[in-house]
Amino acid sequence: MSFLLLGFIPGHPQTKQKDYNWETHHGQLHSVRKMPKNQSRQADSQEANASNQREVLDAISALREELMTTMANTAKTHSDQLVELQGSLEKIECKIQDTTGRVTDLETAAAAHSDSIHAMQADMGEMKKELAFLRDRCEDLETRSRRCNLRIMGVKEGREDGSLTTQFVEELLAESLKLTSVPLLDRAHRSLRSKPSDGNAPPRAFVIKCHYFREKESILKKAAELKTITTKNGDRITILPDYTQTVSKQRAAFGEVRSLLRGLHRVRYGLLFPATLRITTPEGEEFRFKCPLEAKKFVTTKLKQKSKNKRVKHKIHNYT
């Protein structure tokens, strides 16, 4: 049997056998130097600490690798998201640029439209003035064309049958108004509305045109003097000027004021053509009104006050 001497030679005077242990390894005897107990414990502790350090280092290394992997994945995810966000931002930027261009175009168009609207408003104002002027002119022309016209209301339907309408009206006026001569009429006809089917309905008015303006005025004057006009057939008739619809409405608006004036003593009044109310107070002052409200206010506030005894100089006041 062979021996491998490790730090101990049997019989050597400097070596103590108690300091060594003999171990058999693979069939051979080995001597192992014994460690002191304190040194053994310290070695075990160092070995345990080293083992723990290795475990900690291994855990740190694994955690580091895991953290690096997570960071790499997160960075890749963020990079992908940034790329996607950048693409979205580019699209938004394109849309903003397109919207900005459209807004600019709209602002330009709005400015052009604003200028056009201002120009059209100015033109519209001029057109309104011109239209009002033309309406007044047309109204004046139509009114002038009716200067010699009269309306006769109250003649029963069918009285003119069997004779010429113009001749019938001429004789009717001469007999009813007791004129010295038969007036000369250019034409005469019933109003153009449809003939009433009901016998109790008011008859259509006669519209006549006198050949001479002075004859028309004399007929109106005679009718005003008689107040009540009755024909030979018993028809109670009324003779009035033939005004246009606009003038008739304007004159009718003074109806309430005229009814108030009828109850005032020594107050004279009358309607001037086309629709101007003339009022003469007992003191001799003359007032003219084109607005019915102003005329009513004047009558209710001033004319109903106590009249002055002293007659003042004749004055004319115009109210529009």
**Tens digit of each residue's pLDDT (9 = 90 or more) over 266-295:** 888 888 888 899 988 888 888 899 999 998
- Per-residue pLDDT, averaged over 108-129, amounts to 92
Burial class (CB in 10 A: 0-12, 13-18, 19+), 135: exposed
Contacts of 38 (CB under 8 A, 6+ apart): none
- Per-residue pLDDT, averaged over 131-150, amounts to 92
Give CA 195 to chain center in angstroms: 47
3-state class (DSSP) for residue 230:
strand
Structure tokens that stand for 125 in this block: 């104002």
Q: What is the pLDDT of residues 243-272, one digit of tens each?
A: 888 888 999 999 888 888 887 878 888 888
pLDDT > 70 in the chain, percent: 81
pTM: 0.56
Considering the chain, what is the average pLDDT of its residues? 81
Closest CA to 154 of 60, 241, 235: 235
Q: What is the pLDDT of residues 39-79, one digit of tens each?
A: 667 767 777 777 788 888 888 888 888 889 988 888 888 88
Structure tokens that stand for 165 in this block: 């309408």
Q: Which domains are assigned to the chain?
A: 3-34 (no CATH), 149-242 (3.30.70.1820), 248-319 (3.30.250)
Q: Are 265 and 282 in contact (CB under 8 A)?
A: yes
* Count of all residues that appear for the chain in the document: 320
- How far is it, in rounded angstroms, from Cα 259 to Cα 251? 13
Structure tokens that stand for 68 in this block: 């690096």
